[in-house]
């Protein structure tokens, strides 16, 4: 145990909460329903409090995402929660995102969903949480080098799945991928 004072700890914790609270909430709500997100947020904050001395100053948010990821997995392990989630997912599956503004969204969603969960998380951290590879490394507990390589490979794979703007067959429908690039 260190000599870090309780006052110092609390001060650091409060500063930490102030800076990562909103990003953490977003992180969780991107990955679970609001009620579960709130539950898990409590768990995450508790871990943050216990381990406030270990949090790297240069990567506070990514570190917290890593914790959140673990807490989320724990919470998902609860049988009841799993049941709720399944139920929710079924409902979502029954009502496809017809209101999605671009058909390309569905293509991308399908492609993302087809990736291994770890790679999905990598891409989410990169695109949604807007982390750099070295920050992704903190969140996933891997080396920065590994994060870079995995990101590169996953992007290549995703690109391939998206077919570079060609028509993609999805859910029995032929969907025109609206590429952002100007047609060649």
Partner 1 sequence: MTSDQELRARLQGIDPMRADAGVDSLRSSSTDEIKERIMQTINQLEAPRSRTRAHWHRWQVLSAAAAAALLLVVSVAVAGSLTGGDTGGGKGAADPTTLALKVPSSSVMASCVGFQVEYLRDMPVAFAGTATSVDSDAVTLKVDRWYKGGTADQATVSRPDPQSSIALDGVEFVEGKRYLVTATDGTVNGCGFSGEATPELEKAFAEAFPS
Which lies closer to partner 1 via its Cβ, residue 89 or residue 127? 127
Shortest Å, Cβ 107 to partner 1: 10
Place of tokens 């990003």: 23
Closest listed residue to residue 65, CA positions, set 144, 140, 159, 157: 140
How far is the C-alpha of 153 from the C-alpha of 51, rounded, in Å? Answer: 33
Shortest Å, Cβ 182 to partner 1: 12
Q: For residue 157, what are its two tokens?
A: 């794979």
Query: Using CB under 8 A as the criterion, which residues of the chain lie in contact with partner 1 when the complex forms?
Result: 1-11, 17-18, 21-22, 25-26, 29-30, 38, 41-42, 45-46, 49, 102, 104-105, 108-109, 112, 123-124, 126-128, 155, 158-159, 162, 164-165, 179-181
Helix (H, G, I), strand (E, B) or coil at 175: strand
Shortest Å, Cβ 4 to partner 1: 6
Neighbours of 66 (CB within 10 A): 21
Which lies closer to partner 1 via its Cβ, residue 79 or residue 133? 133
Shortest Å, Cβ 164 to partner 1: 6
Place of tokens 């709720």: 84
Which lies closer to partner 1 via its Cβ, residue 45 or residue 68? 45
Q: For residue 82, what are its two tokens?
A: 């799993």
Instruction: Give CA 179 to chain center in angstroms.
Output: 24
What's the Cα-to-Cα distance from 150 to each of 82, 120, 123, 137, rounded to whole Å? 29, 11, 10, 10
Shortest Å, Cβ 139 to partner 1: 16
Which lies closer to partner 1 via its Cβ, residue 79 or residue 99? 99
Which lies closer to partner 1 via its Cβ, residue 84 or residue 109? 109
């Amino acid at each position: 145990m260190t000599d870090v004072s309780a006052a110092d700890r609390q001060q650091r914790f409060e500063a930490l909460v102030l800076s990562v609270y909103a990003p953490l909430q977003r992180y969780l709500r991107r990955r679970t329903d609001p009620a579960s997100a709130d539950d898990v947020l409590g768990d995450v904050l508790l871990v943050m409090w216990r381990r406030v001395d270990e949090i790297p100053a240069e990567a506070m948010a990514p570190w917290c995402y890593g914790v959140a990821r673990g807490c989320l997995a724990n919470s998902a392990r609860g049988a009841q929660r799993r049941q709720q989630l399944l139920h929710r997912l079924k409902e979502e599956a029954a009502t496809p995102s017809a209101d999605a503004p671009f058909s390309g969204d569905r293509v991308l969603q399908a492609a993302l969903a087809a990736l291994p969960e770890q790679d999905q998380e990598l891409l989410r951290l990169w695109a949604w949480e807007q982390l750099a590879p070295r920050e992704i490394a903190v969140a996933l507990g891997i080396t920065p080098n590994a994060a870079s390589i995995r990101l590169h490979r996953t992007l290549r794979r995703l690109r391939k799945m998206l077919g570079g703007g060609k028509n993609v067959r999805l859910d029995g429908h032929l969907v025109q991928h609206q590429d952002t690039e100007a047609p060649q």
